[in-house]
Amino acid sequence: MISIALSKGRILDDTLPLIKAAGIVASEHPDDSRKLIIGTSRADVRLIIVRATDVPTYVQYGAADLGVAGGDVLAEHGGEGLYQPLDLGIARCRLMVAVRDGFDYEHAVRQGARLRVATKYLNTAREHFAAKGVHVDLIKLYGSMELAPLTGLADAIVDLVSTGSTLKANHLVAVEEITQISARLVVNQAAYKLKRAVIQSLLEAVAGAVRGV
Ligand code: PRT
Ligand code: MG
């Protein structure tokens, strides 16, 4: 049996067509089902529906053989025990630093001011600001980062931006790009060795779907 960990939401929507092209069709749409384990058109493949941030954990411990996770989640997790053989090119966005419209970020950085930065990406943010030599106090949030600069919780946020409309609606502006993000297929390293033939053929089929062939 091969288990694939997927999260609901945008990654799922973009992943289902890719695995379908690889011959794997979910027997129920995860959005319409309360089931957390969903069978597929292939008797030897099942889908496990987990929180986006939990995908690397399921795959790392081998509770799922494969998974699809955003580059943001993987960077924050650290990727231990995971192969990352395939960039799926889906759920694309950018990890950015953003501030309230009118806040002079460049000036604050030049002055060597200690910035308060709210984010759910503590590790990634810590590395980014350390590399720039900017002193920051990081505040961990679990969602709605955009609220932090508006309420005085933080000077800046580190968050994902795709269309930019959430920033705009909240009078925030992006001032720095940390990295471009897309979702990747990840594989448990031990499973890759033990179930090599079946996982390899699955990877090739998904890679073909990504290339559009
Ligand atoms: O919902 P849950 O807490 O379980 O997890 P989640 O919210 O992290 O999951 P989900 O499904 O929202 O996102 C899963 C993955 O999608 C992320 O890990 C990213 O790799 C990817 N992704 C791509 C995004 C976005 N684009 C994105 N725009 N994830 C979140 N956003 C949010 C962003 O945080 C911001 O609040 O959308 C808002 C900005 O969008 P725009 O279009 O207004 O710029
Ligand atoms: Mg969400």
From the CA of 7, which ligand is nearest?
1
Probe target for ligand 1 pocket from 84, 150, 162, 167, with the most ligand atoms within 8 Å of CB: 162
Most confident of the following: 9-13, 109-113, 160-164: 160-164
Probe target for ligand 1 pocket from 72, 142, 161, 185, with the most ligand atoms within 8 Å of CB: 161
Please tell me the predicted confidence (pLDDT) of residue 136: 97
pLDDT band at 54 (very low <50, low <70, confident <90, very high): very high
Q: Is the pLDDT score of 2 beyond 90?
A: yes
Nearest CA to ligand 1 atom 4: 51
Residue ranges per domain, the chain? 2-91+182-211, 93-181
Please tell me the predicted confidence (pLDDT) of residue 22: 86
Domain 2-91+182-211: what homologous superfamily?
Periplasmic binding protein-like II (3.40.190.10)
Q: What is the mean pLDDT of residues 32-47?
A: 96
Q: What percent of the chain has pLDDT over 90?
A: 96
Q: Is the pLDDT score of 162 beyond 80?
A: yes
Probe target for ligand 1 pocket from 7, 31, 160, with the most ligand atoms within 8 Å of CB: 160
Q: Is the pLDDT score of 213 beyond 90?
A: no
| Whether the CB of 59 sits within 6 Å of ligand 1 | no
Q: Please answer whether residues 103 and 149 qualify as being in contact, where contact means their C-beta atoms are separated by less than 8 angstroms.
A: yes
Please tell me the predicted confidence (pLDDT) of residue 45: 97
Domains 2-91+182-211 and 93-181 share a fold: yes
Q: What is the mean pLDDT of residues 19-25?
A: 92
Q: What is the mean pLDDT of residues 73-92?
A: 96
Nearest CA to ligand 1 atom 9: 52
Give the CATH number of domain 93-181; options: 3.20.20.70, 3.90.1150.10, 3.40.190.10, 3.30.1490.120: 3.40.190.10
Q: How far apart are CA 104 and CA 124, in angstroms?
A: 23
pTM summary value: 0.95
Q: Is the pLDDT score of 114 beyond 80?
A: yes
